[in-house]
Amino acid sequence: MIWQFDIIILIFMVLAAIIALRVKDLLGATLVFGIYSFLICLLWAEMGAVDVAFTEAAVGAGVSTVIMIATVFSTARRSRD
Amino acid sequence: MEFLAAGFIEENIVPKFNYWVYVILMMIGLFAMITKNNLIKKLIGMAIFQTAIILFYVSIGVKAESGIPILGHEQHHEIVEEGRASSEVIKKEKFANPLPHVLMLTAIVVGVSTLGLALAISQRIYGSFNTLEEDEILDQLRPGGHD
Amino acid sequence: MKLFGFIAVIIVGALLLAATGDFPAWGDAGSPASQGQVSSFYIEQTINETKVPNMVTAVLADFRGYDTMFETVVIFIAGIGIIAVLRTFGDQASKAPDGPEADNDSGDLIVRTTCHMVVPLIQLFALYVIAHGHHSPGGGFQGGVMLGASYILFALACGLPAAKRRMGERRAIIIAAAGIIIYAGWGVACLLLGGNFLDYTSLDPILPGDEQMARSHSMLVVEIGVAFTVTAIMFAIYSNLSTRGRLEKGL
């Protein structure tokens, strides 16, 4: 564990979570959520949970972003909130 | 002065910072799930809620001196080839607790499957109502509403 | 509604924040979770019992094999649920053209060529991740997701019909079911040889090496089963979600 990285990444994560929920364009929100997943993947690696980090990089940042983009493309892109 | 500030952070903020942030992320996710009007936004809130729980579990397993929960080549060689007792070679505080990692690893993969199912249901909702906004869907469902 | 939600969230958050005061400090090696008998056993005895250096893989596939098996079943059910919710068997008139030249019907030339070069490397690395999960981070879940992602990349670059010829819908479901059958069947094999369900030491007579190596080899088998299911379900999720269940052409 490296607490300096920990604090920086956690602050960025909270920012990314808030931005992902405030952006009105759903495609943008999905991409910011992908950034959030990558940050949390870095955090797992920093805490020594390498297997969890690997899974998160493949699943959270890869596949779940892709399927959310697929859904946004086949439904509405704009959101009212 | 700067050195003093660094010590202050290490003593007062670091020991609980992960737990505070997990509560904050959980609040953000829960708030989004309750109040957001768009179904995709609700799902993003749900995913943030889920990662907050995972953050809590993984934070529990960290030890101050720990590395990754995988034996090094030398330790592996000493135990398997030279036959030394594992309790002598392995220092428990040098390895992160593997149990939360295992539980959360499967939770992430199951999480993406359930997220896919939720997205599938929201696509069906869009097919039926032509919108993803919750209040418009409720309007159409109400007897006497348009459609 | 907004106010009600805000108040509820604040109450929940305040209770949880008040509770964090009683937690052991972050990184405390003496916390109850780290001093417990279970985690100490996993850290110290994994190497003696299974000869696997990666404790996470050992706990995942051996000590907590039931858990992982039913997690795999959950993934399978989620995939079946997506197909049940979304798949529409509408007009079959717009059949995709067959034959190798159909690969060239969509997408940019550079993208397609790069994809054809990159996909084998991704799949090779995914197989390495599955097979080497005993010694390095990785295993069935990660490797399976990467294999599924390679099919998704192929579908994005060359169009879904081209990817469907490699991994059709029927084939995906059969592969997903085969993964669970491999996992559960390995447990049944333990039963047939006189042990408990998923008690790999009883497979010692039919596997090379001693009892510990039998557990190590068995982990590889169940990881392969997990990878089968995850690969097929990830691709099924993508292909259904990107076409609203019609499986005609992708994004």
Residue range C185-242, pLDDT digits in tens: 999 999 999 888 888 888 888 888 888 888 999 999 999 999 999 999 999 999 888 8
| Within-domain flag for C204 | yes
Residue C95 has pLDDT above 60, yes or no: no
Q: Where are the alpha helices (DSSP H) in chain C?
A: 2-20, 32-35, 37-50, 55-58, 65-86, 109-131, 140-158, 160-166, 169-192, 211-242
Interchain pair C56, B101: CB under 8 A: yes
d(CA A74, CA C70): 32
pLDDT > 90: what percent of chain C? 44
Position C93 confidence tier, pLDDT thresholds 50, 70, 90: very low
Q: Which residues pair with A78 in a beta bridge?
A: A25
Residue type, A61: A
C200: which 2 tokens?
A: 């790999």
Q: Is the pLDDT of residue C96 over 60?
A: no
Q: What is the pLDDT of residue C25?
A: 86
Alpha carbons C239 and C235: distance in angstroms, whole number? 6
Structure tokens at B42: 């609700």
Average pLDDT for C108-128:
92
Residue A78 touches partner B, C-beta closer than 8 Å: no
Interface of C with A in 33-62 (CB under 8 A): 54, 56-57
Does a structural domain hold residue C13? no
* Radius of gyration of chain B, Cα coordinates, nearest whole angstrom: 24
Structure confidence at residue B49 (pLDDT): 94
Q: Taking 70 as the threshold, does the pLDDT of residue C112 lie above it?
A: yes
Query: Closest Cα to residue B22, out of C33, C32, A52, A6?
Result: A6
Average pLDDT of chain B is 86
The structural domains of chain B, with segments of one domain joined by +, span: 2-61+97-141, 63-95
pLDDT of the residue at C119: 94
Query: Chain C interface, mutation test: which of A63, A69, A80, most C Cβ atoms within 10 Å?
Result: A63
Q: Please give the residue range of the domain that contains residue C243.
A: 58-87+110-251
Residues in Cβ contact with A27 at an 8 Å cutoff, skipping those fewer than 6 apart: A69, A72, A77
Whole-number Å distance between alpha carbons of C197 and C184 = 9
Q: pLDDT, tens digit, for every residue of A16-75?
A: 999 999 999 999 999 999 999 999 999 999 888 999 999 999 988 889 999 999 899 888
Q: What is the DSSP track for C135-148?
A: TSS--HHHHHHHHH
Conformational region of residue B72, where left means phi above 0, alpha means psi within -120 to 50, and beta covers everything else: beta
Whether residue B147 is predicted with pLDDT greater than 70 in this model: the reply is no
Domain count, chain C: 1
pLDDT at C91: 53
Among A37, A32, A34, residue whose Cα is nearest residue A19: A32
Which residue has better confidence, C251 or C51?
Answer: C51
List, for residues C24-38, the tens digit of each pLDDT value: 888 888 888 888 888
Instruction: Please tell us whether the domain made up of B2-61+97-141 is placed in CATH 1.10.287.3510.
Output: yes
Rounded to an integer, what distance in angstroms lies between the CA atom of residue A77 and that of residue B132?
Answer: 10
How many angstroms separate the CA atoms of C43 and C26, rounded? 20
B6 to chain C, minimum CA–CA distance in Å?
A: 17
**pLDDT reported for residue C251:** 64
- Domain spans in chain A, listed from the N-terminal domain onward: 3-74
Q: How confident is the model at residue C44 (pLDDT cuts 50, 70, 90)?
A: confident
Which chains does A contact via 3+ CB–CB distances below 8 A?
A: B, C
B108 within 8 A of A52, measured Cβ to Cβ = yes
Rounded to the nearest integer, the mean pLDDT of chain C is: 86
Distance CA C216, CA A73 (A): 45
At residue C139, the pLDDT reads: 87
Residue whose entry in the numeric block shows the structure tokens 């397993």 = B61
